[in-house]
Amino acid sequence: MPTTISTDLGQRTGLAHSPTGTPAVDVHDLTVAYDRKPVLWDVDLAIPAGVLTAVVGPNGAGKSTLIKAILGLVKPASGGVMIFGRALSSVRLRVGYVPQRETVDWDFPIDALGVVLMGRYGRLGWLRRPGRADRDVARRCLEQVGMGELAHRQISELSGGQQQRVFLARALAQEADLYFMDEPFAGVDAATERAIIDLLRDLRSKGKTVVAVHHDLQTVPEYFDHAVLLNLRLVAAGPTGEVFTPANLQATYGGRLTMLERVGEAMRRAAGGAGASHSESSPSGASARPIPADYQPPVV
């Protein structure tokens, strides 16, 4: 049954854990601010291992910032993150990342195989060149995403969907246990979307954990077994069937949500799908620690 987050700073109850007792991602009291304006406020979140998790919320809700803060790409004003119960620095090789396509310089002179080989550098170190074994891994990853025949094609010559597949292959080449993906389905065609979700399900079957920022609410119940609803604060998190409800969606999107009926229909179609083993919820967001009107966090 859904559980709630304590309103007391530093206290949580009922947070979900993986079967081993340690969540893949454990976020505690996380606040992030840009130019002294909070974009994430007092987020407490635990994501169990071995699930496909969607992070959803309106534009500007802090979804990408949450991922970047977890990965250490932005500095939080307060709070902390643990990955598999340890600091990120000690488990970095177990973590892969697929950024938004819009953040990548696709005119950089490199072919698809070269991009995927970048996923091996974390294991090699910057002073070692990839060897035959690394190239074999990179080629297998390209084959896995259906891009084997275009291994030597310049990335600038690829379509948007093909570029996304290459970046997924790069993440696979990292041979990680936890993957963060920022809008992996954005701007891709239907065939690529199907290929991506098949890939994510294959990763899950191997015990991997995927956390993906996702915008298409209608496909959340079908694609993901765990959901995080975010709008500056955490609204709800847990098994999709328990927390992806009209009430929580309304609390997340407010008056901007106009497709609740269609989402509800998608949820009914996906009914019966098993989710993860826990949930945490604060449906209205009103019980969370309030943001002071004069809040001035440290400059990030």
The model's pLDDT over 210-224, given as tens digits with 9 standing for 90+, comes to: 999 999 999 999 999
Q: How much is the pLDDT for 286?
A: 35
Q: Report helix, strand or coil for 73.
A: coil
Give the orientation angle of helix 160-173 with respect to helix 190-205, to 10 degrees: 10
Distance CA 149, CA 161 (A): 15
Q: pLDDT grade, residue 267 (50/70/90)?
A: low
Q: How much is the pLDDT for 36?
A: 81
**DSSP class of 191:** H
Pair type for strands 52-56 and 78-83: unpaired
Distance CA 158, CA 271 (A): 38
Return the percentage of the chain with pLDDT > 70, whole number. 77
Pair type for strands 233-239 and 25-34: unpaired
Tokens 């950089």, residue located:
108
Token pair for residue 191?
Answer: 């065939």
Q: How much is the pLDDT for 294?
A: 43
Q: How much is the pLDDT for 265?
A: 59
* Distance from the Cα of residue 189 to its chain's centroid: 20
Region 269-280: mean pLDDT is: 47
Contacts of 96 (CB under 8 A, 6+ apart): 119, 171, 172, 174, 176, 178, 179, 180
Tell me what the pLDDT averaged over the chain comes to. 81
Region 150-171: mean pLDDT is: 91
Distance CA 92, CA 97 (A): 11
Token pair for residue 296?
Answer: 């001035």
Region 104-115: mean pLDDT is: 85
Residue 293 has pLDDT above 70, yes or no: no
Residue 218, number of CB atoms within 10 A of its CB: 16
Token pair for residue 111?
Answer: 């072919």
Q: pLDDT grade, residue 255 (50/70/90)?
A: low
Distance CA 208, CA 83 (A): 13
Q: How much is the pLDDT for 108?
A: 83
**Under a CB-based contact definition with an 8 Å cutoff, are residues 258 and 217 in contact?**
no
**Under a CB-based contact definition with an 8 Å cutoff, are residues 240 and 266 in contact?**
no
Tokens 């002073």, residue located:
127
Pick the residue with more confidence: 127 or 166? 166
Q: How much is the pLDDT for 20?
A: 53
Q: How much is the pLDDT for 191?
A: 87
Q: How much is the pLDDT for 261?
A: 52
Return the percentage of the chain with pLDDT > 90, whole number. 57
Q: How much is the pLDDT for 68?
A: 95
Ramachandran bin of 57, using left for φ above 0, alpha for ψ from -120 to 50, beta for the remaining angles: left
Region 41-47: mean pLDDT is: 95
Q: pLDDT grade, residue 125 (50/70/90)?
A: low
**Under a CB-based contact definition with an 8 Å cutoff, are residues 156 and 117 in contact?**
no
Distance CA 87, CA 181 (A): 20
Residue 94 has pLDDT above 90, yes or no: yes
Question: What pTM value is reported for the model?
Answer: 0.78
